[in-house]
Amino acid sequence: MRTPLIAGNWKMNGSAALVEEFGHAFAEARLPASLDVAVLPPFPYLDAARRAFEGTPLRLGAQTLNPLHSGAHTGEVSGRMLREFGVEYALAGHSERRQLYREGDEAVLDRLLAALNVGITPILCVGETLEERDAGQTMDVVLRQVGYVMARLEPDQRSRVVIAYEPVWAIGTGRTATPQQAQEVMAGIRQYQAGFDRELAAGLRLLYGGSMNASNAAELLAQPDIDGGLVGGASLKVDDFLAICQSAG
């Protein structure tokens, strides 16, 4: 019922050559019949990626966006601009944006709304730090982050949101949440949403993110509440990313 989604977050990595490599590899790849795949390259590569990914299953995503359409905001990029380049997905609330650029819940909501307003599917990232996990606060933190945003959306907007559970301690560290740890939190997110709207919760796409790779993806993706992955480091190697996509079938 829920189409799996694998999204590759290149962060501030990649090159024009890597864009080409992905285009060629995915043009010939055999992927599960029911699977959405997106690559989120840095902004300068969007146009090249749009061309290189034409005719492949790869869709385009953005790592962030400014909540405004245009104006005096040096260095920023709006959702409307991203849409012009065929962007279909955008992250909101990635832990690196929350930590390094001090984007709090309100800023995350603004970006998520900006994406929805231009027809881009937002991927809301949530997750606890190691200190919060050790203090037994995982569910409190995650549900606060989810609840802040979802409570402020209209029902039709809520149904268009994808949520990525990314424990901060697992991002870029090589330390993955066990499938059981990830499943527990993600089942908790779905149950929480079901408390408001059972139908919406049943259709909500939940991604796991945090050192997902070609070796651990299948077991994570086999969990009942994990509908896909948000992949960082392993999305920079075409063979690894392909293998992750293939294990989502």
Binding site for ligand PEP (CB under 6 A): 9, 11, 166, 171-172, 209-212, 230-234
54 classed as catalytic: no
Shortest distance (Å) from residue 162 CB to ligand PEP: 13
Q: Which residue of the set 73, 76, 166, 184 is catalytic?
A: 166
Burial of 39 (0-12, 13-18, 19+ CB in 10 A): buried
Q: At residue 239, what are phi and psi to the nearest 5 degrees?
A: -65, -40
Q: Is 11 annotated as a binding residue?
A: yes
Shortest distance (Å) from residue 203 CB to ligand PEP: 23
CB nearest ligand PEP: which residue?
A: 232
Reference 84, options 112, 119, 109, 122; nearest CA is 119
Q: Is 9 annotated as a binding residue?
A: yes
Closest to ligand PEP by CB, 122 or 233: 233
Q: Is 237 annotated as a binding residue?
A: no
Q: Is 228 annotated as a binding residue?
A: no
Q: For the chain, how many helices (H) and strands (E)?
A: 12, 8
| Beta strand 228-231 pairing with 205-209 | parallel
Please state, in angstroms and rounded to a whole number, the distance separating the CA atoms of residues 120 and 64.
Answer: 11
Closest to ligand PEP by CB, 26 or 169: 169
Closest to ligand PEP by CB, 9 or 78: 9
Shortest distance (Å) from residue 75 CB to ligand PEP: 21
Reference 214, options 191, 192, 247; nearest CA is 247
166 classed as catalytic: yes
Closest to ligand PEP by CB, 191 or 215: 215
Please state, in angstroms and rounded to a whole number, the distance separating the CA atoms of residues 129 and 53.
Answer: 35
Q: Which residue of the set 94, 96, 103, 128 is catalytic?
A: 94
Place of tokens 């900006």: 114
Shortest distance (Å) from residue 163 CB to ligand PEP: 13
CA atoms within 13 A of residue 37's CA, in its CB half-sphere = 26
Q: Is 172 annotated as a binding residue?
A: yes
- Residues with a catalytic annotation lie at 94, 166
What residue numbers does the annotated binding site for substrate cover? 9-11, 172, 211, 232-233
